[in-house]
Amino acid sequence: MKNVKIIIEEHDDGFVAYPVGLQGVVIGQGDSYEDALADVRSALTFHLETFGPESLQDDLVKDAFLAETTV
């Protein structure tokens, strides 16, 4: 078991979640934060079972931040 950093975005029509530091594309979605997190967790499990743990390069990402600026 590994901890994986997940980005979760809220949109007008629901939530989208995706992991940081993964080779390949894995996205989850849902009507709520919890639904999107559960969906991306399921997709990550399938991805790691299919492509192996080496597809997760979470050690490349030390941390993730959300920032906002005005332009």
Q: 14 in a domain, yes or no? A: yes
Q: 16 in a domain, yes or no? A: yes
Question: What is the reported pTM?
Answer: 0.79
Q: 70 in a domain, yes or no? A: no
Find the domain containing 45 and state its range: 6-60
- Give how many domains the chain has, as a whole number: 1
Q: Tell me the pLDDT tens digit for each residue of 4-44.
A: 889 999 999 999 999 887 777 889 999 999 999 999 999 99
Per the document, the length of the chain is 71
The CB density around residue 22, as the number of other CB atoms within 10 Å, is 20
Q: 67 in a domain, yes or no? A: no
Q: 65 in a domain, yes or no? A: no
Q: 21 in a domain, yes or no? A: yes
Given a cut of 70, is residue 62 above it in pLDDT? yes
C-alpha–C-alpha distance, residues 8 and 23, integer Å: 18
Q: Tell me the pLDDT tens digit for each residue of 46-55.
A: 988 998 887 7
Q: What is the pLDDT of residue 59?
A: 63
Q: What is the pLDDT of residue 17?
A: 94
Q: 66 in a domain, yes or no? A: no
Q: 1 in a domain, yes or no? A: no
Q: What is the pLDDT of residue 65?
A: 78
